Amino acid sequence: MDFSLNEEQRAWQLKAREFAKSEIRPISIQRDQIEGGFGPWDWDIIEKGSRLGFRTLAVPKEWGGPGTDFVTQTLVMMELAKGDSAICKAFSQNWKWSHLIASACNDDQKDRFLKPFIADDRYLIGRGITEPNAGCDNRLPPKDDPRSGYKLHAERDGDFWILNGEKCFIANGSVGSLFFLDARTDPTADITRGGTLFLVPKDTPGFRIGKIFNKRGWRFYQNAELIFENARVPHVNVVGSVGTGSVKAGGGDTTGGDLFGDLELAANAVGVCDDAVEMAMEFSDTHKRGGKYLIEHQLIQLNINEMNMLTEALRSFVMRVAWEHDQGKRSATGVLMVNYSTDVIQRVTKLNMEIHGIEGSRMNARVDKLVRDAMVWSHLAGDTVLRLKAVSKLDFPHAKSRNSEAKVTASEAAE
Amino acid sequence: MFNLHLTAEQIEFRDTVRSFAMNEIRPLAIHPERLESFNKPLLRVLLDKASELGLRTLTLSEEFGGVGADTMTSCIVFEELAAGDVDIAIMLGQTSLLGDLLFDHWMEDSQRDIFLPRFIEDETFHLSCAGPIPEISNSWCYHENLPQEPNAGPIAVREGNEWMIDGSVSYVANAPIAEFFIVMAQTGLDGSGTDGTKGLLVPRNTPGLTINAVDNVVGKSDINWSHGCGAGVEFNSCKVPLENQICKDEKIPIVSEHYSRQMSLQRAAINLGLGRAAFDAAVEYAKIRRQGGRNIVEHQAIGKKIADMAIKLELASTIIWKAAWVADHPEVIADRSVSDLPQHTIANTFTAEAVHDVTLIAAECFGAMGVMRDMPAQKYVNDGFMFLHSDINDISARLPIAEKVVNYHRSKAA
């Protein structure tokens, strides 16, 4: 085993650390405290980060990007998230779709979309899967209900597809220039066969942004409604082929970015935990309760121990999975890791709040922000479903015979 | 004997407040516009309507025009009110608690004659207490004497027929709506010999009293962290007549175990009401939200969440009722029916953790809707965190229970 980083990985890590410290951190609380859904957004920090390469970090070398590996991307997210979890996510969201373009799009599509993406500091990408009545169903479609899952309707009209329907909570929705869109091309088949993945630029006629969501955590990060009213998307924007299911079209993508999706959330969580640990240690070393420095109290020592313990365990888990991803290995560890990161980030930020407590009915704004940001992990990508999904990826010794038994029962019932 | 029957009166009172909280308060309390704002409006009209139900004078004795409710009834009623809106419950709870202490315990007849009629007649008349609640910070001194700390807060000096108050308190609950303040001021610092904490009544319009609003301002390094309403209060050569001193009899301590016990039980009950609101919202949503081919309430994963919430709420309710019963019937400790542990502290710390868990689980039932600011689930989570870290609760708050287990007694100061 070798845990050392190579020069390129180390260079990106330091560059991200410096950017997080000098540019992200100073605006973090200020943006977080602006009311409204769109209010906290700031193009300036996106442009600054983009010029340093943080927007296009995952674009392959042959298409003009730095072509960094998963380990590098993980290190960069840990650093950026320590500055601000939501701002980090606004950058890494683009890496997710850079991966998808690289793995699922044809050369014509890469040419048409990756080039403007690289050229424009404000070009952001998103993916619309979720709809008001299709959340968990997109992840774990129920076998007995083929109509469940996304319903956004796509109908062929010559060289075009006509899209009608609505997506909600879509990341980068209000600021994106390009969206991957999961639509139903066959409403009678389930989404694994009746779904198709499209590329939809923001200036597509008939496509507009609806409500911009106002969240408790990750306030900087944008989530919006996408509304399609007879939107015309050219057939050449179909990813893969029609009716293969958008998941298959995306190269097996189920988490929005496949291998990267799980890694993204877990690496971001490490950055937040690092932030919380640093705050807790600084505070307990400088503030007193009952006449003694906090760190002299065993209650606080126990909290500090647990915070460090969990953070280091998560860091090891995340780095291991990043390394496995770079080796092209697929297993249940990715989804297990993201589930673990949810527990860890929420526990660690809560312990930090316990250490700070309140002073004169005031709470440290950043302590509160970390708790609010951490809460988002339970509400992303169907948290409970991810926990169930992890089980579906594990090998059970009797799965084969159990499934055939179930089939027999089902056919008996049909008779 | 163990008897969980409420009286017919208690049930009727509970149902009246429940219906008011559900039908009138909750719809406005969780209106999307109120939820989205960082400085949520106070719902003053509903506060006054709740006063008219008798909640402002709930624990004040009947003799003086109050409802005369015992601790148990007060807990039951404030839980219901809080299920409608935590902020209204905290504001009314504070006035109810102080009203009982002030008029039933702290005032002399001559003072009651002056102040009581106005308090009874005016449903918008609220009370506020400016000063430290020392019992609470003591929990950090586990098995140790209290440190000598510099006097914080207002000081009072006697000048002829008046007390002159100077100093400030950074946050005073109910200050924005209070008609007068009970100021716990340090005296004797001028060497006059009358040292100790004195309670002084300061009407709102007294010259030298300034009330500073505590709004959340963008970019500040700390944020307001309290329920109800509050403000910073400043005293600059603020003079009140000597007659405004309460607890003149040295045998009546203004800072008492009774005060902190009643306060923590009332908070626990309000905290439980919050948990009920979160639970109700999650169950209602689970019954109508359809994913996985059925309403999500039918999935085991959601069933587990609902059961976990119900268990936590039932246990919190049980310990609050027990602690309230003990407060009303101290003889159950004397006759060894119940242990002599601080039941109110057990109730308060357990409820804060349990309801915190409930709010998080409830929010999880909402999926992405759980973090949206125009939806109630995230508000409940925020409220739960506030109870967990409040002026009477933090991670040290349980340590006095352990001290009591081994009958540790500390001397007052090092």
Residue-by-residue pLDDT tens, chain B, 414 positions:
789 999 999 999 999 999 999 999 999 999 999 999 988 888 999 999 999 999 999 999 999 999 999 999 999 999 999 999 999 999 999 999 999 999 998 999 999 999 999 999 999 999 999 986 555 568 999 999 887 766 678 999 999 999 999 999 988 999 999 999 999 888 876 655 456 788 999 999 999 999 998 766 666 889 999 999 999 999 999 999 999 999 877 666 666 788 889 999 999 999 999 999 999 999 999 999 998 888 999 999 999 999 999 999 999 999 999 999 999 999 999 999 999 999 999 999 999 999 999 999 999 999 999 999 999 999 999 999 999 999 889 999 999 999 999 999 887 554
For residue B414, the model assigns a pLDDT of 43
Measured between CA atoms, the residue of chain B closest to residue A141 is B292
- Quote ipTM for the complex: 0.95
CA distance B268 to B274: 10
Question: Which of A103, A234, A125 lies closest to A176 in space, CA to CA?
Answer: A125
Identity of the amino acid at B41: P
**Which domains occur in chain B, in start order?**
8-124 (1.10.540.10), 134-246 (2.40.110.10), 257-405 (1.20.140.10)
Confidence of residue A251 (pLDDT cuts 50, 70, 90): low
Report CB contact under 8 Å: A365, B291: no
Cβ–Cβ under 8 Å, residues A195 and A183: yes
- Partner residue facing A358 (CB), from B360, B374, B390: B390
- Partner residue facing A360 (CB), from B171, B360, B366: B171
Helix ranges restricted to H, A141-296? 191-194, 246-249, 259-286
Give the single-character DSSP code of B103: I
Assess B382–A contact: CB distance below 8 Å, yes or no.
Answer: yes
CA distance A24 to A5: 24
Report CB contact under 8 Å: A357, B370: no
Report CB contact under 8 Å: B389, A358: yes
Report CB contact under 8 Å: B372, A215: yes
CA distance A403 to A412: 14
Residues in chain B: 414
Which residues have C-beta within 8 Å of that of residue B84, sequence separation ≥ 6? B20, B21, B22, B24, B25, B26, B29, B273, B277
Confidence of residue A405 (pLDDT cuts 50, 70, 90): low
- Return the number of other C-beta atoms located less than 10 Å from residue A406's C-beta: 11
**CA B93 to each of CA A337, B57, B82, B136: distance values in angstroms, whole numbers, following the listed order:** 45, 9, 10, 19
Strands (E), B132-229: 155-159, 162-173, 178-187, 196-203, 209-213, 222-224
Query: What does the block give as tokens for B159?
Result: 């000048």
Strands (E), B39-107: none
Report CB contact under 8 Å: B292, A297: no
For residue A257, the model assigns a pLDDT of 47
The residue ranking higher by pLDDT, A5 or B214, is A5
* DSSP codes joined into one string, B221-235: SEEE--SS-EEEEEE
Residues in chain A: 415
Identity of the amino acid at A265: L
pLDDT in tens, A371-404: 999 999 999 866 777 778 778 788 888 877 877 7
For residue A262, the model assigns a pLDDT of 87
Residue of A222, A375, A377, A391 to mutate, interface with B, max B Cβ within 10 Å: A375
Measured between CA atoms, the residue of chain A closest to residue B376 is A216
Taking each helix axis from N to C terminus, what angle separates A70-83 and A7-19, rounded to the nearest 10 degrees? 20
CA distance B182 to B198: 10
Residue A211: its H or E element: strand A207-212
**B222 DSSP β-pair partners:** A364
Question: Which of B151, B121, B119, B155 lies closest to B134 in space, CA to CA?
Answer: B151
For residue A226, the model assigns a pLDDT of 97
CA distance A61 to A38: 34
Question: Which of A284, A276, A334, A337 lies closest to A308 in space, CA to CA?
Answer: A276
**CA A267 to each of CA A71, A322, B98, B136: distance values in angstroms, whole numbers, following the listed order:** 10, 9, 50, 39
Exposed / middle / buried, residue B15 (Cβ in 10 Å: 0-12, 13-18, 19+): exposed
CA distance B281 to B297: 13
For all residues of chain B together, what is the average pLDDT? Answer: 91
Residue whose structure tokens are 């960094």: A68
Average pLDDT over residues A297-310: 98
Least confident of A100-109, A233-242, B4-13: A100-109
Residue of B373, B388, B401 to mutate, interface with A, max A Cβ within 10 Å: B373
Cβ–Cβ under 8 Å, residues A167 and A203: no
Cβ–Cβ under 8 Å, residues A242 and A190: no
Using the predicted structure, report yes or no on whether residue A245 has a pLDDT greater than 60.
yes
Cβ–Cβ under 8 Å, residues A98 and A56: yes
CA distance B110 to A112: 87
Give the single-character DSSP code of B144: S
Confidence of residue A360 (pLDDT cuts 50, 70, 90): confident
Exposed / middle / buried, residue A34 (Cβ in 10 Å: 0-12, 13-18, 19+): middle
* DSSP codes joined into one string, A120-135: -TT--EEEE--BTTBS
For residue B270, the model assigns a pLDDT of 98
CA distance B183 to B197: 10
Confidence of residue A256 (pLDDT cuts 50, 70, 90): very low
Question: Which of B35, B1, B21 lies closest to B373 in space, CA to CA?
Answer: B35
**Which domains occur in chain A, in start order?**
7-124 (1.10.540.10), 126-249 (2.40.110.10), 259-392 (1.20.140.10)
Helix/strand/coil for A301: helix
Would strands A223-234 and A238-239 be described as parallel, antiparallel, or unpaired?
unpaired
Residue of B39, B294, B302, B389 to mutate, interface with A, max A Cβ within 10 Å: B389
Assess B230–A contact: CB distance below 8 Å, yes or no.
Answer: yes
Residue B130: its H or E element: strand B126-130
Query: What does the block give as tokens for B14?
Result: 């509970």
Which residues have C-beta within 8 Å of that of residue A122, sequence separation ≥ 6? A43, A46, A47, A50, A175, A177
For residue B189, the model assigns a pLDDT of 64
Cβ–Cβ under 8 Å, residues B238 and B202: yes
For residue B374, the model assigns a pLDDT of 95
Identity of the amino acid at A21: K
Residue B253 phi/psi, 5-degree rounding, is: -75, 135
- Partner residue facing B367 (CB), from A29, A346, A379: A379
Cβ–Cβ under 8 Å, residues A114 and A94: no
**A376 DSSP β-pair partners:** none
For residue A371, the model assigns a pLDDT of 98
Report CB contact under 8 Å: B141, A291: yes
Question: Which of B373, B350, B278 lies closest to B84 in space, CA to CA?
Answer: B278
CA distance A165 to B99: 58
Percent of chain B's residues with pLDDT above 70: 93
Measured between CA atoms, the residue of chain B closest to residue A169 is B368
Average pLDDT over residues A58-76: 94
Exposed / middle / buried, residue B401 (Cβ in 10 Å: 0-12, 13-18, 19+): middle
**A166 DSSP β-pair partners:** A227
Taking each helix axis from N to C terminus, what angle separates A365-375 and A333-356, rounded to the nearest 10 degrees? 150
Helix/strand/coil for B90: helix
- Return the number of other C-beta atoms located less than 10 Å from residue B350's C-beta: 19
Give the single-character DSSP code of A84: -
